[in-house]
Amino acid sequence: MSMSLYLVKVTPTIGERMQADPELLLQVWGAVDPVEPDIADLDEDEDKLLEDYLGISHILLDKPDRYPWLARALHGTGEVVDFEYGYGPGFIVRADMAAQIVAGLAEEGWWRQGDEVVTVDHAIAAFYAAAADQGRTVIGGIG
């Protein structure tokens, strides 16, 4: 069995549009050809992150209350996007909350800005940090 964490960072305006019309996420993840210019212009390496969810989520299974910020990074903070990734609906994280997630991940010892990105947890934290720095919205889910 395979499970992946899907994250995309977009402008707040596009994030609001995606929350109102979740089918736009089909264009983001290649299920349909992008027709929206803002989606077609997303950079595959900079604006999207696809990582192994099972490889990191086992940490939460073993110690569910120990890493609340990692849980937020993987599952959002409760604001839902009505898009089925395969293992539940998507989530939306605005730039201010992304900054809080990055600070929380640093407190939990996962990664700090300026550190080298070596592992999956580093990549996830760095993605949220970039979103916060750029004032972008993150939309994600588990598929």
Residue 75 burial (CB count, 10 A) = 17
Residue ranges of E strands in 33-130: 48-52, 80-84, 89-93
Q: What is the pLDDT of residues 68-101, one digit of tens each?
A: 999 999 999 999 999 999 999 999 999 999 999 9
Q: What is the pLDDT of residues 111-120, one digit of tens each?
A: 999 999 999 9
Chain segment 13-70, per-residue pLDDT in tens: 999 999 999 999 999 999 999 899 999 999 999 999 999 999 899 989 877 789 999 9
Which structural domains are found in the chain, ordered by start? 4-142 (3.40.1760)
Strand partners, 93: 138
Nearest to 17 by CA among 45, 37, 47: 37
pLDDT of residue 62: 78
Q: Which helix (H) or strand (E) holds 139?
A: strand 137-142
- pTM value is 0.95
As beta bridge partners, residue 92 has 139
